[in-house]
Amino acid sequence: MSNPDPTRHRGIFAPVLTPFYDNLEPDIEAFVAHCKLLLASDVGLAIFGTNSEASSLSFGEKIELIDALIAAGIDPARIMSGTGSCSLKETIALTRHSIDAGVTSVLMLPPFFYKNVSEDGVFAFYSAVVEAVGDRRLGVYLYHIPALSGVPVTPTLIERLRKRYPSTILGVKDSTGDWENTRTLLTLFGNDGFDVFPASEALLLDALALGGAGCISATANLNPAVLSALYRMGPGGAPNALRDAAFAVRRAFQQLPMIPAMKAVKALRTGHRGWKNVRPPLTGLSGVNVEPLVSLLEAAEETTSVPAGALPASAGR
């Protein structure tokens, strides 16, 4: 399958948080506003990732959210659509819809319910999606998060897929948090037109030094200007104050259930209480004062000359 001009990505991407009303229906207006805020800081949109609560969203809801972004005038070239699921047909259908909407890059989980499946089986799944979609514009970023999926995207699997679909398999998000794994992927594939994204800003500068494409980080939802500046300045130019501030924010959120914590902070900063809502089986943050997290974010913003409190109350809707 040939794809002479695939959409490739560089920089910082946020696995976009999904806001819900109190009845747990997606708040589309707040979702679009949040996406616009991220883009204003030059942070791309990785919709339907882990931190988006993607596995708690229905197929129809994902379609509706994609269409809402496009209707709002958001550039589809700034979006990666998370289309992987346990259902082959649903993965194919969501991938097709994304491409039809102009979102040609997808971040695709392997099928994750059955564990201890063979590499041949995972290869067959990805191959079936690429063949069934049958669109030269398709660019697939593989999503390696074995701690949650239980199904690894191994270097040998990547090599096989790239050999079969060299213009379609564009990169990988490595969510192991293990620098040695990220370094291995960069060493094997990073100099061969394959985009490697670690999932944490803590690994960003080291990855960039070896040819990494950027990072897809949960905390980019709340710290977009800082991470964008860290990426632009790179391993040789980022001042210690900027690095330390970014890493301090990451460490603080990692000490809490990250999705509820990020949503609680978003609710506090915007004044839109609905941002606190998460879908079961997740539960909202309880008994935790998130004001120190807000203070950390404001201190980090000051290192990039972004005014403290850069998220106005109106930005949440």
> Would you place residue 310 in the very low, low, confident or very high pLDDT band (cuts 50, 70, 90)?
very low
> Would you place residue 102 in the very low, low, confident or very high pLDDT band (cuts 50, 70, 90)?
very high
How many CA atoms within 13 Å lie on the side-chain side of 216? 34
β-strand pairing of 169-174 with 139-144: parallel
State pLDDT tens for residues 179-189.
999 999 999 99
Structure tokens at 185: 């992927």
> Would you place residue 8 in the very low, low, confident or very high pLDDT band (cuts 50, 70, 90)?
confident
State pLDDT tens for residues 60-91.
999 999 999 999 999 999 999 999 999 999 99
Q: What percent of the chain has pLDDT over 70?
A: 94
CA 3 to chain CA mean position, Å: 23
> Would you place residue 308 in the very low, low, confident or very high pLDDT band (cuts 50, 70, 90)?
very low
CB 29 within 8 A of CB 230: no
| pLDDT for 307 beyond 70 | no
CB atoms closer than 10 angstroms to residue 57: 19
Mean pLDDT value of segment 229-254: 94
Long-range contacts of 25-28 (CB under 8 A, 24+ apart): 26/57, 26/61, 26/64, 26/65, 27/274, 27/317, 28/64, 28/65, 28/68
Predicted pLDDT of residue 6: 61
Whole-number Å distance between alpha carbons of 16 and 265:
14
Predicted pLDDT of residue 117: 95
| pLDDT for 169 beyond 90 | yes
Burial of 236 from C-beta contacts in 10 A (0-12 / 13-18 / 19+): exposed
| pLDDT for 216 beyond 60 | yes
- Residue 12 bridge partners (DSSP): 215
CB atoms closer than 10 angstroms to residue 281: 6
- Residue 20 bridge partners (DSSP): 26
Among candidate residues 5, 158, 2, 173, the one with its CA nearest the CA of residue 77: 5
Domains and CATH numbers, the chain: 11-233 (3.20.20.70)
- Residue 144 bridge partners (DSSP): 174
Position 2: which residue type?
S
What is the pTM for the complete model shown? 0.93
Predicted pLDDT of residue 305: 65
| pLDDT for 106 beyond 80 | yes
Predicted pLDDT of residue 192: 83
Query: What average pLDDT is seen over the chain?
Result: 93
Predicted pLDDT of residue 311: 41
* DSSP class of 5: S
Structure tokens at 299: 């201190």
| pLDDT for 123 beyond 70 | yes
Greater pLDDT, 60 or 191: 60
Whole-number Å distance between alpha carbons of 152 and 160:
14
